[in-house]
Chain A
Amino acid sequence: MAVVDITHTRPASASDYIALLKPRVMSLVVFTGFVGYMVAPGQGDAVLGFAAVLSIAVAAGAAGALNMWYDADIDAVMSRTRSRPIPAGRVPGEEALMLGLTLSALSVVTMYLAGGLLAAGLLAFTIFFYAVVYTMWLKRSTPQNIVIGGLSGALPPAIAWAAKTGALALDPLILVAIIFMWTPPHFWALSLISHKDYAAARVPMLPVTHGAKSTRIHVFIYSLLLAPLALTPVLTGFSGMIYGVAATLGGAFFVFLAWRVLCSRAGEGDAAQDKPARDLFGFSILYLFALFATLLVERGFG
């Protein structure tokens, strides 16, 4: 980590500390975790369920703060992240580190109390995987960084399932696999748009190391793998027809948008050519929300 010049422009406000927790990333993690808890078998309990999902949210925030502490040098270079609290000089890096470590400990302890040892262990592993394996190691060393690092963002449904049942099963692992396979096309679509930033920050993202064309091919291949994988819950009998229809239509449109990206010149420097990548990135978020929302309607609410 390079030393970042901290120039206090104004005293940090509460919103700066909230920004350290990456609330937008947190929202998807919280939602998939919530669905994971709701669709797991058993009665469950409102207080314990709330505490388990809150622990996942706080852990995601803690991992985000640790990421911002370590990546302050990268964030200062990239236009998308330049105004984050640490590179903008509003919050000292050490405060983000302390906030991240404190919230990590509190979230794991709370998860242990509410969901038991397995869930707490998985939660601790997730924070470690994101903050250490992804942020400190993979992100700066391999273009496969977001593929492997995506595991940390994929685990929440399994953690929540373990919190409710005390064990793991095939169904939550399928949900993890779906998010895991969804992450590369989602993130590479974004990296096609902001590849210049990554190049300037010397982050070995796929468009920087292998070029835009290779990235577009990768996006299409992962989309082709994702669409049928998302239908697995129907085959195992875990989900019903509503989910099946959503996964089929959503998957087909996902592949269509990825095909448009494949045929485009997205990521080659002309911002006007990036629209297909922008469309895929936007739809990918809606797609994952829709999959888990239909699962929630079918199983969570009976």
Chain B
Amino acid sequence: MSGVILTPEELAARRRRNLFIALAVGAFVVLVFAITLTQLQAGVLERPL
């Protein structure tokens, strides 16, 4: 089976990119969590249904 064979330099670059994407996704999750907590404290659950 043939495919694209990455050089060690390209593999390292891909690992770095993946790490940054993971960090960004993690930061987004934390941000949404913090926003949700803040909105809950503002009494968003006390609205009439």
A contact residues vs B (CB 8 Å cutoff):
10-14, 17, 45, 47-48, 51, 54, 106, 110, 113-114
Closest B residue to A55 by beta carbon equals B31
Question: In the bound complex, what is the Cα–Cα distance between A14 and B36 (angstroms)?
Answer: 30
Question: In the bound complex, what is the Cα–Cα distance between A14 and B17 (angstroms)?
Answer: 7
A-B pairs with the 4 shortest C-beta distances? A11-B13, A47-B38, A113-B35, A11-B10
The residues of A that contact B9 with a CB separation of less than 8 Å are 10-11
Closest B residue to A47 by beta carbon equals B38
Query: B13, A106: Cβ atoms under 8 Å?
Result: no
B32 within 8 A of A: yes
Closest B residue to A109 by beta carbon equals B32
Main secondary structure of the interface of A (DSSP, over half): helix
CB distance from B30 to the nearest CB of A (A): 11
Pick from B10, B12, B28, B35: contact of A47, CB below 8 A: B35
The residues of A that contact B12 with a CB separation of less than 8 Å are 11
B34 within 8 A of A: yes
CB distance from B19 to the nearest CB of A (A): 9
Question: In the bound complex, what is the Cα–Cα distance between A1 and B28 (angstroms)?
Answer: 32
Query: B38, A12: Cβ atoms under 8 Å?
Result: no
Query: A113, B16: Cβ atoms under 8 Å?
Result: no
The residues of A that contact B17 with a CB separation of less than 8 Å are 12, 14, 17
Pick from B10, B16, B28, B35: contact of A48, CB below 8 A: B35
The residues of B that contact A14 with a CB separation of less than 8 Å are 16-17, 20
Question: In the bound complex, what is the Cα–Cα distance between A48 and B12 (angstroms)?
Answer: 37
